[in-house]
Amino acid sequence: MGKRIVLADPRGFCAGVDRAILTVRTILKSADTPRADGLPPVYVRRQIVHNKHVVEDLAAQGAVFVQELAEIPDAAAEAGIPIVFSAHGVSPAVKAEAAARGMHVVDATCPLVSKVHREVLRFVKEGYEIIYIGHKGHDEAVGVVEESPEHVHLIEHASDVDSLDFQPDTKLVLLTQTTLSVDETAGTITALKARFPWLEMPPNSDICYATSNRQAAVKLVAQQSDCVVIVGSANSSNSVRLMEVAQEGLGERGKAYRVDDASELDPAWFEGLESVGISSGASVPDELVSGVIDALQNLGFTGMKSVETIKENMHFVLPAELRRKPLR
Ligand code: SF4
């Protein structure tokens, strides 16, 4: 067989990202722009999903992205301009601030992230201390931990387990960020169970279906490739995990790269190789993957093979705020 591309399936958009982007697009579509008062049709707190192309595209259509609600003028709240919370979720303090300022919130938090928030509240109410495996500073982890900072103990890796100290009479349960590496988390859980054998697991893993499916597919792709390219932004947790999983699968045989788009590819990476694996993070539009495929085809990788591990049919309805009342 000649030089070829090995394409992971599933890859790219998950149901939570699809819903979050559609939320902003729906608001943009129903808005009268430009407004006489000069206000934008919608504000979005933080990146709606962690992909710079998606954010730039929505910004070009009029969405205004802010880091904090404080950047939004009172006039916007008074005019009822929608403010969208991103797919990664927010802390109770952010919700309270929006409510206090009378903002018209449209919450695009992924339902699978909201599930973890609810688990925190339930377990704290039942008297548990929660060990939460996540990435410090990531929007999702910040929102979850702030549900109950005194009872949620964040660790990142197995090496952090020693920093925890609980007595055997402490009710302990484990929760995790949705976009972790399945394998690395299993290692951390083993270390936790060795130290705290009474640690309880949640009813279902918090690592979401999209994360597990994309990691399973890229593992197989890595086995059949000389190198792997992951399309996804540097601040996208699941994209970075995909790159790590691919690198583990490749071992010494080759290298895994992460690029935002085709412009970041370096032809030198592919010299002398026969096969290049490709996958993309859950926040990545497929046209960016198409751009990478085109670039590799121009470098002579004209064969194409798809590695499919599972068919996804997950779908989330739009946020209740969009289903309930018409937007202005
Ligand atoms: S990666 Fe998983 S948790 Fe995150 S938005 Fe997608 S479906 Fe939701």
| Residue pLDDT, tens place only, 213-228 | 999 999 999 999 999 9
What pLDDT is stored for residue 249 in this prediction?
A: 97
Concatenating the DSSP letter of every residue in 90-122 gives --HHHHHHHHHTT-EEEE---HHHHHHHHHHHH
| Count of residues making up the chain | 328
What is the 59 CA–ligand 1 centroid distance (Å)? 22
d(CA 57, CA 15): 19
What pLDDT, on the 0 to 100 scale, is given for residue 325?
Answer: 57
Ligand 1 contact, 178 CB (< 6 A): yes
Angstrom distance (rounded) from CA 193 to CA 203: 16
**pLDDT score of 203:** 86
pLDDT surpassing 70 at residue 291: yes
**Residue 44 confidence (pLDDT) above 60:** yes
The answer on pLDDT for 231 being more than 90 is: yes
275 DSSP 8-state letter:
E
List the beta strands (DSSP E) in 29-72. Answer: 43-45, 64-66
| 227 annotated as a binding-site residue | no
27 contacts 322 by C-beta, under 8 angstroms: yes
Q: For ligand 1, is residue 179 a contact (CB within 6 Å)?
A: yes
Task: Work out the pLDDT band at 84, boundaries 50, 70, 90.
Answer: very high
* Catalytic option among 140, 150, 264, 287: 140
**Residues 16-38 pLDDT 10s:** 999 999 999 999 999 987 889 99
Q: CA-based Rg of the chain, rounded to a whole angstrom?
A: 21
For the record, the structure tokens of 93 come out as 């303090």
Q: What is the pLDDT of residue 326?
A: 54
pLDDT tens, position by position, 116-125 = 999 999 999 9
Count CB-CB contacts under 10 A for residue 70.
9
From the CA of 129, how far away is ligand 1's center (Å)?
25
140 catalytic per annotation: yes
Helix axis angle, 182-195 to 237-250, nearest 10°: 90
Check: CB of residue 254 under 8 Å from CB of residue 208. no
pLDDT digits (tens, 9 = 90+) for 155-208: 999 999 999 999 999 999 999 999 999 999 999 999 999 999 999 998 899 999
Return the percentage of the chain with pLDDT > 90, whole number. Answer: 95
Cα separation values, 161 from 86, 156, 197, Å = 30, 9, 13
Per-residue pLDDT of 243-288, as tens digits, reads 999 999 999 999 999 999 999 999 999 999 999 999 999 999 999 9
User: Is the distance from the beta carbon of residue 106 to the nearest atom of ligand 1 less than 6 Å?
Assistant: no
Instruction: State the chain's mean pLDDT as an integer.
Output: 96
Tokens describing residue 268:
């030198």
3-state secondary structure of 81: coil
| 86 is known to lie in a ligand binding site | no
Q: Residue 217: CB within 6 Å of ligand 1?
A: no
Q: How far apart are CA 98 and CA 322, in angstroms?
A: 17
Mean pLDDT for the stretch of residues 302-319: 97
Over 90: is that where the pLDDT of 238 sits? yes
H-assigned helices in 85-208: 92-100, 111-125, 139-145, 182-195
pLDDT category at 74 given cuts 50, 70, 90 is very high
**Distances from the Cα of 139 to the Cα of 18, 53, 92, 111, 151, angstroms:** 18, 19, 13, 15, 19
Distances (CA, A) of 248 to 185, 211, 240, 264: 14, 16, 13, 22
Structure tokens at 78: 């008074």
List, in order of start, the domains of the chain with CATH numbers: 4-13+209-308 (3.40.1010.20), 15-110+316-324 (3.40.50.11270), 112-195 (3.40.1010.20)
Q: Is 236 annotated as a binding residue?
A: yes
Q: Is 208 annotated as ligand-binding?
A: yes
Write down the pTM of the prediction: 0.95
Residue-wise pLDDT for 114-148, tens only, equals 999 999 999 999 999 999 999 999 999 999 999 99
CA of 177 to the centre of ligand 1 (A): 10
Q: What pLDDT was estimated at residue 250? A: 98
